[in-house]
Amino acid sequence: MSGFKLEKYAGRIARLVAKKKEQTLAKYRRFGKADEDDYGYVLPPEEFMRTFRFPVLDENGSFHGVSAWAKNYRALLEAHPVYVDPDDALAGRWMFMMSRMRAGYQLSLAPFPVDYSFLHHDQELYDLTHGIGKDAHFAPDYRIGLSLGWGGLTRKVERSLEAHKFDSEAVELLNAELEALAGIRNWIHRTAMAAEGELRRINLRLENDPPETLREACQWIAWFNMASRTYNRDGAGGQLDEILRPYYERDIAAGRIDDEDAVYYIACLLLNDPHYYQIGGPDPNGKDQTSRISFLILEAAHALKTPCNLTIRVHDRMDEKLFRRGVEILLEDNLGYPRFSGDNALIEGFMRNGYSIELARERIALGCNWMSIPGREYTLNDTVKINMMKVFEVAFNEIADSGKFSLGALHKCYQKHLARAAFCIAEGLDFHLAHQYRNEPELLLNLLCYGPIEKGRDASHGGVDFYNMCCDGAGLAVVADSFAALQTQVVERKRIAWKECVEAVRSDFRNENGEQIRRLLASSPRFGHGGTCADEWAVTLTHDFAETFPNGRRTPEGRLIIPGLFSWADTLRFGKTVGATPNGRRAGEPSSHGANPCPGFRKDGAATAVAKAVASVQCGYGNTSPLQLELDASFVNCADPVGRLTALFRTHFKLGGTLINVNIVDAKTLRAAQKEPEKFPDLIVRVTGFTSYFIMLSPEFRDFVVKRIIEEEQYA
């Protein structure tokens, strides 16, 4: 479909995109930095922010608990300003993130016991991102809501409430669900009344009834997305092509729409909010799910050229035309999308946890780095992390203080502390699952999951089928390079004594001869070069991390833990807590990015070397260790760039890779934008698992992204 033309709606889409850019600049000028996803919200009227008050607040000005969340959410939606744009096929925009409107929020101030102080020491010692009290980060199944509509969901909750009327936990939760549904339907109704013509008719119908057409389905999904973002930032989508396919095919057969109409409707859905969607990939039986609408979704994103989160699942029986078209758009638009996930390693890994191949195929890419079975699996994806650099620092200092220097002793000490950090994480996950339902129930995601409404139990408290808790490692390359530097310069070449190395590291390389020692350590083999001790250490350390969790990767209460390697946008934060490291990194400098080698790992920065390196450090249980690939814009001028890139992706996946994120950038433009970001309001970069306008990043994070992408010799 490389020749697809969008003529009928070109003017509308151009105006919508221009308005999106204006709204982004307005957010930047009001709030400044936002080192996270590009959300679809627009700014509310300033008068609203001055006058709106939540009806239920505690003495600290915050709120906790099922009833408080429900009543405050309903109040917010019933007062929510309406938004209608005559150029838009869909009505509505969200303006608030309720989970960030809790003044003075602290989980420890909740009006029920949530004391996890017994974990604080190790959480702080190892700089653990423990996830306790975190929300969302698992996936709904849109098909539940699309089949029932808001009225049907309401009746479903009412029936369950009657069935569980003597179960106090269920009664409290289900009454809260009814409050949430009433607020959503009120918001839809008021927005519909502000619209005209077909847009009014559609939304008045959707206030109660399920959608029947493609446009109605897109509008229903947009309403759920807006409602869920407003509640607690949830951004997980679904298998968008297969979800929309029946509506598209019926509309085409009935002569109601053509492909241009379909692309316009889908573009408006993608613009409404950049949720995470997968297209392509196998169904539970292994049949390729690619259809005509898979291509139309790509064309909708291509027409917009705004931040977008689409992932194409690459598998052995896929439609090669979809793969190729995705790569063409990636190269043509230079916007960091679509992404690509590797089916074979994901399926084989998830099956190692005891799951069937059918379930493994249903577990799809719906977040920055993460997979989830829509509607059936609770995961806390991307909210739980171990700072491997900090664990290394603790072990390094312990060995240094003991005076018993040896590489083997350091590795054993590192493994000991890693296991202790992992056990702390495991205990924290159990604590979260025991208490979160009373702190912040998943009122929106519950509605589109199998079990929470039927059982009267929150998704975090036994409502869904599967509890596969995520934990990511961060800083792998720094630790691998540190072990390699010690092995090379201290143990093998004996160019530095252990004591001399320790003193230099502890002084941040600022003592006498410190800079000379730093440069020597930094010249050691690095992970990613290939065939070095650093590459061997990276594989060893990945195995250490993947197998460090207790009880066969289970929490004390028996919940499965699935490891991956990912740092999200926390590379700066992780680095700030760690002193200098023996790879030549100075105190406070950023962590290495996810599973990638450190910047400057080899002078040519070969993409094939990065791809091979990241494929070698997959944890192997169905969660990802993404490849972050940075390509110069000149790559498009080489012979057959599409063929070369598809071959590289295929090779990475055959070697065991799980997910690929790509930036294609012009170094000159990026450097200029670093100095004067407001002159480049259109510049979009793939920060990590998400894309964002460059201008929305903090100056510190802009600098980091520029270094990661275009600077080669960061530590040397």
pLDDT at 549 over 80: yes
| Stretch 455-465: mean pLDDT | 99
* Confidence category of residue 711, pLDDT binned at 50, 70, 90: low
What does the alpha-carbon distance between residue 445 and residue 690 come to, in Å, rounded to a whole number?
21
Find, among 258, 236, 490, 473, the residue nearest to 376 by Cα. 236
pLDDT at 3 over 70: no
pLDDT attached to residue 98: 96
What does the alpha-carbon distance between residue 311 and residue 493 come to, in Å, rounded to a whole number?
46
First to last CA, the chain: 46
Find the range with the poorest average confidence among 92-106, 228-242, 317-331: 92-106
- Both tokens of residue 408? 């083997």
Where do runs of H (alpha helix) occur along 468-513?
Answer: 476-485, 498-506
Contact 240, 313 (CB under 8 A): no
Contact 677, 694 (CB under 8 A): yes
Beta bridge mates, 469: 561
**387-436 residue pLDDT tens:** 999 999 999 999 999 999 999 999 999 999 999 999 999 999 999 999 99
pLDDT attached to residue 616: 99
pLDDT at 715 over 50: no
* Confidence category of residue 519, pLDDT binned at 50, 70, 90: very high
Please tell me the chain's helix, strand, coil percentages from 3-state DSSP, rounded to the nearest 5.
55, 10, 40
Amino acid identity at 342: G
Find, among 148, 169, 125, the residue nearest to 211 by Cα. 148
Find the range with the poorest average confidence among 74-83, 155-164, 206-215, 605-614: 605-614
pLDDT attached to residue 714: 34
Amino acid identity at 479: V
Find the range with the poorest average confidence among 11-15, 73-77, 543-547, 690-694: 690-694
Q: Check whether the bond before 246 is cis (ω within 30° of 0).
A: no
What's the per-residue H, E or C state across 346-361?
Answer: HHHHHHCCCCCHHHHH
**37-81 residue pLDDT tens:** 889 999 999 999 899 999 999 988 899 999 999 999 999 999 999
| Stretch 538-546: mean pLDDT | 99
* Confidence category of residue 542, pLDDT binned at 50, 70, 90: very high
pLDDT at 192 over 80: yes
What's the per-residue H, E or C state across 16-79?
Answer: HHHHHHHHHHHHHHHHCCCCCCCCCCCCCCHHHHHHCCCCCCCCCCCCCCHHHHHHHHHHHHHH
